[in-house]
Chains A and B, each alone.
Chain A
């Protein structure tokens, strides 16, 4: 596609990158078909091709974002279904990052929205603050009716009981001979809301000869802030993790850094790019990126011993960050099938469930419509349990599902001798 950047603009690396991304787009519109917001809203402006055009205009003209532009970019879920579909290899992910950063810089949102976004960023990505907030939420539940709608939505997503972290920093030794040593990214939200997933991951890995370390300091990857277009805050969060893991790599060594929240994994795999303009950190960031693997990628290399076959009918929900962000589709299904589960795939499996980081809090209407559509597609295969590889999806889908919704590792832990995931033990 033709672009109109001046030589001066092209001297800016971010704009030079945006320019080369834009040049690759041939405006064919294929990506509109799989974009959840276009499917729901039917407006070109809510499609990838439309957003590309909005970003292009804004950057080329170096204009401040208008309210309309901000609205349509905010509605993007960053699910990256568009990138899986695009035959021309357009790197939408890095273009929208630059677009969002421009919006953050040039557009002043209405007060209420600013406050909400600040709260989301400040609370969700700090485990300590989140724990306090959840405790407050727990007390607030009975008074939910008195709160504004969006805060009510936040409350709905809060777990019934704020969890106690069982997988704090430390080393969890391998059972039997050690095959590999990995660091586990426990995730800021996950470690508080659903630490059972981390516990299952540690059991599953150590049971199969993997030593797991949870590094002190590596508590948040920065993905939530990144999603909000706050690249500086995202980098600040990431630095601590990079330092902690590099110390681990240079110390006892790591064979991999394991992510069991694919939303985090996608960003950490991209750290090299996030820090490309920072000579002091880019090397370490790249080292970290290159070591990160989704848990399913690691498990696929291990000889798992399935001894407790559960022939449950499982519907596998492919998290966007896994299928579009990291292009991992086959491994989780194969693992579950090997474990003896009757694995089904739902219709419209490419569509986002509406969780998308903090999207369900910031865009409740669209998120709810996507959740309902996802829930109906999942229910259509009449599953006994729903599973996915990303905590955000679990929380979101649970609010619309009638059967237990668990993480893939919880099922695999169960099938290799671990405890049954919550809600599944009874009657089996």
Chain B
């Protein structure tokens, strides 16, 4: 592992057996996992470049058990890493050698479906897709749809503020949740928000969303559900160049059209996916765009025609309009399976997540092509074109010495490029450990110290998911008396992890 994590505390690790024993008193004994082979199965999330078996895995079944575990850990000074479905792509759920991984896999119940208030109250381990499946027979759905929606948990979605192909029109997770129940590190159970849109006081819901497991363990989520649009159609467009596709994206947005989703894939991505999904993607183009329009049927028809015309003007050489629901879903299934399908063309891939101004797309893709030769690795690009969120998949082979290090260096350059063209480090996969050390490329020390103060307010001892998100080690007590001189903190020299 080329990543530097906080040094494990030997004083905690020698107490492993007694800690496990104590945990067995708090949850059913079979829910405490300590054997070496079995811990390995928990050693990473969806970012396999970094692996570390946890000291212990504990799988609570109720909020009361979560509370008891956290209370115990706070008292004993034991670190806790929350884990949902382990599909994260930034190493947010990467375990610690001296930490407990607290898995929420057993929190799988939908607690309440409330149509009059248009919401679902669910446990955090319920998958994103299961929420939609629970209400679709009544004509409703949960809008944010990460490509991993089949497997990722709603708790993980809240922790990462996840987005999806339909977020262009319907917003990301933070725009679609109404309330949370969470457990603080001292064991206190708090309820934030409720079933209504706006809660009084500070926007704590906003603070918790995207907190990457650093502030509290989420034990219940109330999400907003929307009525399914009466009609939805998608266009599958092919272009002779990435530039042409980029021009089309800008033209659609500039034309005042808000598609339900607008996704782009470049040539290597198209080929990888078509092999698995057989979605009928054209194979002789450089880029495809999938544009979905939804709403009342007449509006959809008109917008489809306008987008098709704009695509033609931008130089599209292929245009297919979904003839029915099955075809529309087939267009999407290719896109939604794009990442793992990369596993068919390469044993490993490193999925990047940066956001750029839409206009910079062609330039960024051209620069990535240049880097490909420099690093000797190829890249397949998948792009939430509508909101500028780029996912280059760097293809590498972890079994070949040196390739992982090259992939990491390549990735860091791509992210710096995103910031350079006026974008940001992350679109939706979070910072985790992956982008932790790049945070200073985006924020200065004052910004970072300010963000850490918030963390300290929730978790003064730094026990919840330490080593993630923040590049520099600060003790909360030190932050309290931090002096800032001309943008430099007194602790600028403090060691990095």
Q: Which residues of A line the B interface, CB within 8 A? A: 1-3, 23-34, 38-39, 41-45, 49-50, 53-54, 57-58, 63, 66, 68-69, 72, 85-90, 347
Contacts and interface: CB of A to CB of B under 8 A. Distances in A.
Most buried by B among A1, A34, A45: A45
A361 B125 CA distance: 30
Given A24-B343, A33-B151, A87-B343, A44 B86 contact: yes
Interface stretch (B34-42, B257-265, B318-326, B424-432): B34-42
Interface stretch (B197-205, B288-296, B334-342, B453-461): B334-342
B103 A26 contact: no
B176 interface: no
Contact of B37 (A3, A54, A347): A54
Nearest to B150: A33
A324 to B, nearest CB: 15
B16 interface: no
A29 B48 contact: no
Given A53-B40, A66-B35, A26 B340 contact: yes
Most B CB within 10 A of own CB, among A25, A26, A50, A90:
A26
A265 B159 CA distance: 45
Contact of B41 (A24, A26, A44): A44
A30 B105 CA distance: 14
Given A26-B342, A33-B151, A42 B129 contact: no
Interface string B101-112: 001011110000
A322 B431 CA distance: 43
7 contacts: A1-B347, A28-B340, A29-B151, A31-B151, A42-B107, A43-B33, A90-B343
B348 interface: yes
B106 A42 contact: yes
B148 A30 contact: yes
B474 to A, nearest CB: 32
B407 to A, nearest CB: 12
Given A68-B35, A85-B150, A86-B340, A27 B59 contact: no
A374 B349 CA distance: 37
A34 B85 CA distance: 13
Contact of A66 (B37, B129, B341): B37
B348 A30 contact: no
Contacts of B125: 42
A41 B349 CA distance: 30
Given A24-B343, A45-B33, A2 B348 contact: yes
B87 interface: yes
Q: Which of A2, A31, A54, A72 has the most CB of B within 10 A?
A: A2
A33 B129 CA distance: 9
Interface of B: 31, 33, 35, 37-38, 40-46, 48, 59, 85-87, 103, 105-108, 125, 127, 129, 133, 148, 150-152, 276-277, 337, 339-344, 347-349, 398-399
B344 A89 contact: yes
Nearest to B47: A27
B33 A24 contact: no
B65 to A, nearest CB: 13
A178 B151 CA distance: 50
Given A43-B105, A88-B344, A29 B86 contact: yes
Contacts of B340: 26, 28, 30, 86-88
A378 to B, nearest CB: 16
B151 A32 contact: yes
Contact of A57 (B37, B87, B276, B349): B37
A208 B41 CA distance: 53
B90 to A, nearest CB: 14
A104 to B, nearest CB: 17
B218 to A, nearest CB: 16
Nearest to B349: A26
B103 A58 contact: no
A3 B48 CA distance: 12
Given A85-B150, A86-B340, A87-B341, A44 B37 contact: no
Nearest to A46: B105
B411 to A, nearest CB: 16
Contacts of A54: 37-38, 40-41
Contacts of A86: 340
Contact of A53 (B41, B85, B87, B337): B41
Given A85-B150, A347-B133, 19 more contacts: A1-B348, A28-B148, A28-B151, A29-B148, A30-B148, A30-B340, A32-B151, A42-B106, A43-B33, A45-B38, A53-B41, A54-B38, A66-B35, A66-B37, A68-B35, A87-B343, A88-B340, A88-B344, A89-B344
A23 B37 contact: no
Given A1-B348, A38-B105, A87-B276, A26 B339 contact: yes
Nearest to B149: A33
* List of 9 A-B pairs having minimum Cβ-Cβ separation, nearest first: A42-B105, A88-B343, A2-B398, A87-B340, A42-B106, A26-B343, A87-B337, A53-B41, A50-B41
Given A26-B340, A43-B59, A89-B276, A2 B48 contact: yes
Contacts of B348: 1-2, 26
A427 to B, nearest CB: 31
Contacts of A29: 45-46, 85-87, 148, 151-152
Contacts of A28: 46, 87, 148, 151, 339-340, 343
Most buried by A among B37, B86, B339: B37
A88 B341 contact: yes
Contacts of A23: 347, 399
Contacts of A89: 276, 343-344
B48 A44 contact: no
A225 B35 CA distance: 29
Contact of B42 (A24, A38, A44): A44
B175 to A, nearest CB: 24
B301 to A, nearest CB: 31
A87 to B, nearest CB: 4
A9 B349 CA distance: 25
A43 B125 CA distance: 11
A25 B105 CA distance: 21
A45 B35 CA distance: 12
A427 B398 CA distance: 66
Nearest to B339: A28
Nearest to B342: A26
Nearest to A22: B347
Given A3-B399, A25-B343, A68 B151 contact: no
B103 A44 contact: yes
Contacts of B105: 38, 41-44
B156 to A, nearest CB: 10
A45 B41 contact: yes
Contacts of A347: 133
Given A33-B129, A87-B337, A26 B38 contact: no
B42 A58 contact: no
Contact of B85 (A32, A66, A85, A87): A32
A30 B106 contact: no
A38 B37 CA distance: 18
Contacts of B129: 33
A28 B277 CA distance: 17
A69 B37 CA distance: 8
A376 to B, nearest CB: 15
A57 B51 CA distance: 14
A2 B407 CA distance: 14
B107 to A, nearest CB: 8
B69 to A, nearest CB: 16
Contact of B150 (A2, A30, A88): A30
Nearest to A2: B398
A126 to B, nearest CB: 36
A173 to B, nearest CB: 42
B111 to A, nearest CB: 16
